[in-house]
Chain A
Amino acid sequence: EAAVTQSPRNKVAVTGGKVTLSCNQTNNHNNMYWYRQDTGHGLRLIHYSYGAGSTEKGDIPDGYKASRPSQENFSLILELATPSQTSVYFCASGDARGNTGQLYFGEGSKLTVL
């Protein structure tokens, strides 16, 4: 089965600090995504990528950067973390050839910004 691994699974950061969330997939999928999940908001797309070296802005990109150094790895970077970024973050991969939207999600990274 498709495998998407996120690290860290839990992170406590201070306001103004830098946070990097990492994601690795072994599915050989071209597309990767970062979503955040908040009660009352469902899943919202932050950044996504169509392949190594590419990053695109999603629906809520402000305050976040992304990096896709290789097919397997996709990172989400919070340069100056704020308490409003406290959330659960999910990474996902998808096969671009399918083009119909099935995503494979990781187990999530819970971030608390104090």
Chain B
Amino acid sequence: QQKVQQSPESLSVPEGGMASLNCTSSDRNFQYFWWYRQHSGEGPKALMSIFSDGDKKEGRFTAHLNKASLHVSLHIRDSQPSDSALYFCAASANTGANTGKLTFGHGTILRVHP
């Protein structure tokens, strides 16, 4: 069973629009969540982390975490063509042997069109 599930699989938004990506975990050991972004031909890069309930804002990006439901979302306002990429949700249990070990979802492909 996939422990980190993302939706939608793909998303197309107009330039300047809002993109919303979702992620749900089935493992209650996961306490730390990350969003990673991967442009074509490159390795994934960490975009932002969220470890506490509520919202975390960094520029145009806002992450939201609900630990009770293990649901994480990422919202990108004023989307730019350069935001077009594959977005991964990743989770870590960060205990003992799992220190720093990330479990990734399948990813959401975001396309921002002019």
Contact A102 B43 (CB under 8 A): no
Q: Which one of B32, B34, B46, B102 has the highest number of Cβ atoms from chain A below 10 Å of its Cβ?
A: B102
Bound complex: CA A44 to CA B88 (Å): 12
Bound complex: CA A33 to CA B91 (Å): 15
Contact A101 B90 (CB under 8 A): yes
Contact with B along A63-84 (1 / 0, CB 8 A): 0000000000000000000000
Contact A101 B88 (CB under 8 A): no
Contact B46 A103 (CB under 8 A): yes
Which of the residues A31, A40, A41, A106 comes within 8 Å of B100, measured between beta carbons? A31
User: Does B101 belong to the interface (CB within 8 Å)?
Assistant: yes
User: Does A34 belong to the interface (CB within 8 Å)?
Assistant: no
Please name all residues of chain A whose beta carbon is closer than 8 Å to the beta carbon of B97 when the two chains form the complex.
56
Which of the residues A41, A98, A106 comes within 8 Å of B43, measured between beta carbons? A106
Could you tell me which residues of chain B, from 35 to 50, have a CB within 8 Å of some CB in chain A? 41-46, 49
Please name all residues of chain B whose beta carbon is closer than 8 Å to the beta carbon of A108 when the two chains form the complex.
42-43
Interface size class of B (residues with CB under 8 A): 20 to 34
Shortest distance between the CB of B93 and any CB in chain A (Å): 9
Shortest distance between the CB of A85 and any CB in chain B (Å): 19
Contact A43 B46 (CB under 8 A): no
- A101 and B102 contact, Cβ closer than 8 Å, known pairs A43-B88, A90-B43: yes
Could you tell me which residues of chain B, from 16 to 73, have a CB within 8 Å of some CB in chain A? 32, 34, 41-46, 49, 51
User: Does B75 belong to the interface (CB within 8 Å)?
Assistant: no
User: Does A45 belong to the interface (CB within 8 Å)?
Assistant: yes
Contact A40 B106 (CB under 8 A): yes
Please name all residues of chain A whose beta carbon is closer than 8 Å to the beta carbon of B104 when the two chains form the complex.
35, 42-44
Sample (12) of A-B pairs whose CB atoms are under 8 Å apart: A31-B99, A33-B102, A42-B106, A42-B107, A59-B103, A92-B43, A95-B100, A101-B34, A103-B102, A104-B46, A106-B43, A107-B43
Taking Cβ atoms with an 8 Å cutoff, the residues of B that contact A are 32, 34, 41-46, 49, 51, 88, 90-92, 94, 97, 99-107
